[in-house]
A and B are shown apart, each in its own frame.
Chain A
Amino acid sequence: MPGILDAIGVGMLGPTIIAHGTDQQKTRYLGPMLHGDEVWCQLFSEPAAGSDLAAVQARARLQADGSWRLSGQKVWTTNAQFASYGLLLARTDSDVPKHKGLTMFIVPLDAQGVTVRGLRQISGEAEFNEVFFDDVAIDADAVVGGVGNGWGTALTTLMFERVTIGLGSEGMGYNSNRFAQAIAQDPDARNDHQVRHALGEIASELLAVRFTGYRTLSALQKGQVPGPESGLAKITIVSGAIKAGDLIADVLGPDALAEDGEWAYMISFLPGLKSAGGTEEILRNTIGERVLGLPPAPRLDKGIPFSELRSKETAAA
């Protein structure tokens, strides 16, 4: 089912550049991104910084001429193997608390010192990658949103990411009609009360998020900023699709798991998707705190310079 070629670029990185980029960056990058001439990737997560994104260690060091040198590693980078550019969150100051010492950069993936290595997933496909940066040269004008403002810029990206996943699910094939079609083919399944009940529960929730998507679009058109509650739609979609995959494979039997089939692919993809764009646990925390106003759990790393945190962890181990 055709969707947007570069949903990551168009869905969240482009909007980040629109919100935080310079006019020069917008002029240079948005057109080719929209036309699909240049594909983008999101260079945020690292092996030691997934949920705790502010703990990234990829380091960009300022040079005398205002340019930067970047070293470090990113992981789970979807489409890095196709990308011309990536939006990268790096540490630019280790002597301040972790959130304050970050800067966002536009990094060309064909630069000297960049290595992309595919990571195979449950399905056997390698849709995402680890990306290594070995003293990569980055221009001064590659900074997006200002030096030291990487965290604020990243939050914009994450917000759009949740909206994109929430709105894009139908295009990814997670919709009630498609799942119902699979059940409808089987004359016993469509009359079976248990199957109907399971399908009804799944489908009613997926229908709900279809309309949540319309409500979100409507709010965006009115200039409203989508809030953290868009993460709720992601939770519903992933859990709904997981249950649908289970139901369909129960009905169809092992043939549903044939490697070249649509259901095997979906079934393989969903466990990872549960963590992509924010794990369900983190999303529920964020929504509980920002939308319901519940107090956060205590954290042990608040206000401490980043350079001291690493030694604390090593000492504790």
Chain B
Amino acid sequence: MNLSLSDEQVFLREAARGTLSRFKTFEANREALDGNSEALPDLWPAAKEAGWPGLLIAEQHGGAGLDAFDAMLVLGECGRVLAPIALLGHLPASAILNDSPAGASLLEPLASGERRAAYLPVSPPDDLSQKWTVDPASGLQRGDAPTASASADGVSVSGKLAFVPDAPGADLLVGVALLDGKPVGIAIEASASGVSVEATTRYDASRSLGHVVLENAPAIVLDASEQSLASAWYLAQSLLAAESLGSVETALDVSVEYAKERHTFGRAIGSYQAVKHSLTEVLRQLDNGRSLLYYAGWARGGAPGEFPLAASAARSVAGRALDTASRTMISVHGGTGATWEHDAPLYFRRAQLSRRLLGGTAGATDRVAGELMLQADAA
């Protein structure tokens, strides 16, 4: 297990930071919130140039052949600047296809980024239920996974998925459907009949979301294993965790700098224990999150049986870290931190929406308990 970054990984991260620094993402996010969605920079060309769409696709298909941890490093950089970029949707989809010989012909344009995919997130069964489920449009009751039916004309898929990251504008939708009650991988052309993607944003204009409705949409059945299909869910958890921790890093940096400069009663506010401790608390949660990113990034390939636990723990800690960091950032900046023009509200909006996507931070926390119950039973 790698517990520190290799030279290549340091370079990957620095290069990503450099690529993203060319864009004024914070100003664009604010303008987009004010209704001007054109203000958001299109980061896909930069992503293509950097080779990010192909991170998890094998070299023989034009990708970089890297693994989860490397993708997480890139997502962390995206999170640092709240970048509006479609990797959270694209990468898990590419991972499923990469594991499916039947989908091999689809890989090359996805690796180059000429075509973009979006993962249709379906969460695997846990210790309490045998069902594969999807995020509901609202409420606590999760929805059923899409169903596939086979006929002489081929396979078609029906189902509804709410708040799918990066679905709008994706060329290919890749996920899981139940065929005769069994989970199979499916790839659906977004332009096919029976596919509707309703673009939406909620509170955080930098997060592209789509409500996907499939009505007998023609699909290719993929021969990825059930473990691979489950792994895609946990990969999405890990990527979101990494992105969130990137946001925590810059939120903390900005807050610490302010705490050193701003004075009250004759000394810097950071010299007061309460402020100092609140910032140390952000660091504590950030450091815990970083350790879990190593665990999750390694487990996907190195200990697949532990990947559900590792990824869920990473998501749980990272989500809570971003909640803490975003609220602390506002507090440390006093009244200014609660004004529209400040960057702190952008982190707050990112935190608020992220914690309710992909099963929610709470769902991941529950999954940690569930995995530990399974481990306890097996012991």
Judge: A and B partners, yes or no.
yes
- Cα separation A176 to B275 with both chains bound (whole Å): 31
Is the Cβ of A292 less than 8 Å from the Cβ of B283?
A: yes
Closest 5 A/B residue pairs (Cβ): A208-B288, A180-B372, A200-B365, A184-B376, A294-B270
Q: Is A209 a contact of B373 with CB atoms below 8 Å?
A: no
Contacts of A181 in B (CB 8 A): 376, 379
Distance to closest chain A CB from B251 (angstroms): 13
Chain A residues contacting B127 (CB-CB under 8 Å) are 190
Listed by A's residue number, 8 A-B pairs whose Cβ atoms lie within 8 Å are A195-B369, A201-B365, A209-B288, A288-B276, A292-B276, A292-B279, A294-B256, A294-B271
Distance between Cα atoms of A183 and B313 in the complex (Å): 18
The answer on a CB contact under 8 Å between A190 and B373 is yes
Interface-located stretch among B14-22, B28-36, B227-235, B290-298: B290-298
Is the CB–CB distance between A177 and B375 below 8 Å? Answer: yes
- Contact between chains at A199 and B268 (CB < 8 Å): no
On A, residues with C-beta under 8 Å from B are: 176-177, 180-181, 183-184, 190-191, 193, 195-197, 199-201, 203-205, 207-212, 214-215, 218-219, 222, 229, 232, 235-236, 281, 284-285, 287-289, 291-298
Quick one: given A197-B366, A200-B366, are A297 and B284 in contact (CB under 8 Å)?
no
B367 on the A face (CB < 8 A): yes
Knowing that A190-B373, A212-B291 touch, tell me 6 more A-B residue pairs with CB under 8 angstroms: A183-B369, A190-B127, A196-B366, A201-B316, A201-B320, A209-B291
> Number of residues in B with C-beta < 8 Å to the partner?
51
Within 8 A of A (CB), among B347-379: 362, 364-370, 372-373, 375-377, 379
Q: A199-B372, A214-B3, A289-B276 are in contact. Are A204 and B271 (CB under 8 A)?
A: no
Q: Does B259 sit at the interface, judged by CB under 8 A?
A: yes
Q: A208-B288, A295-B270 are in contact. Are A214 and B1 (CB under 8 A)?
A: yes
- B365 in contact with A197 (CB, 8 Å): yes
Select B366's contact among A193, A207, A219, A235, beta carbons within 8 Å: A193
Given A200-B368, A208-B288, A211-B294, CB of A288 within 8 Å of CB of B280: yes
Of A204, A293, A297, most B-chain CB atoms within 10 Å: A204
Does the CB pair B287–A297 fall under 8 Å?
no
Contacts of A176 in B (CB 8 A): 372
Whether B276 pairs with A285 at a CB distance below 8 angstroms is yes
- Whether a CB of chain A sits under 8 angstroms from the CB of B267 is yes
**Chain B contact residues, CB within 8 Å of chain A:** 1, 3-4, 127-128, 256, 259-260, 267-268, 270-273, 275-277, 279-281, 283-284, 287-289, 291-292, 294-295, 309-310, 312-314, 316-317, 320, 362, 364-370, 372-373, 375-377, 379
B260 / chain A contacts, CB cutoff of 8 Å: 293-295
Q: With both chains docked as a complex, state the minimum distance between the C-beta of B69 and any C-beta of chain A, in angstroms.
A: 13
Q: Which residues of B contact A196 (CB under 8 A)?
A: 365-366, 369-370
Closest Cβ neighbor of B363 among chain A residues: A200
Tell me, in angstroms, the Cα distance from A284 to B375 when the chains sit together. Answer: 34
Which residue on chain A has the smallest CB distance to residue B284?
A232
Is B287 touching A203 in the complex (CB atoms < 8 A)?
A: no
Chain B proximity of A190: nearest CB distance (Å): 5
CA distance A118 to B23 in the complex (A): 65
Q: Are A215 and B3 in contact (CB under 8 A)?
A: yes
- With A196-B366, A287-B280, A287-B283 known as contacts, the answer to whether A294 contacts B294 (CB < 8 A) is no
> Are A291 and B288 in contact, with the CB atoms below 8 A?
no
Complex formed: what's the CA distance from A288 to B310 in Å? Answer: 29
Contacts of B366 in A (CB 8 A): 193, 196-197, 200
What residues of A have a CB within 8 angstroms of the CB of B287 in the complex? 208, 212, 229, 232
Contacts of B312 in A (CB 8 A): 200, 204
How long is the Cα–Cα vector from A231 to B342 in the complex, in angstroms? 33
**Residue in A207, A222, A294, A296 whose CB lies within 8 Å of B279:** A294
- Given A197-B365, A295-B260: A205 and B288 within 8 A (CB)? yes
Question: Contact at B365–A284, with CB atoms within 8 Å?
Answer: no
B256 touches A293 (CB 8 A): yes
Compute how far the CA of A222 lies from the CA of B5 in the bound complex, rounded to whole angstroms.
13
Cα distance, A160 to B312, chains bound together (Å):
32
How many angstroms from the CA of A211 to the CA of B290 in the assembled complex?
Answer: 9
A199 with B369: CB separation less than 8 A? yes
Complex contacts, A294 vs chain B, CB 8 Å: 256, 259-260, 268, 270-271, 275-276, 279
Check if A203 sits within 8 Å of B283, measured CB to CB. no
Cα of A219 to Cα of B2 in the assembled complex, Å: 11
Question: How far, in angstroms, from A292 to B366 measured CA to CA in the complex?
Answer: 33
The complex places the Cα of A181 from the Cα of B376 at a distance, in Å, of 5
Nearest neighbor of B266 in chain A, beta-carbon distance: A298
User: Nearest CB to that of A218 among chain B residues?
Assistant: B3
| Chain B residues positioned under 8 Å from A209 (CB to CB) | 288, 291
Complex CA gap A191/B129 in Å reads: 11
B373 is contacted by which of A184, A235, A295 (Cβ under 8 Å)?
A: A184
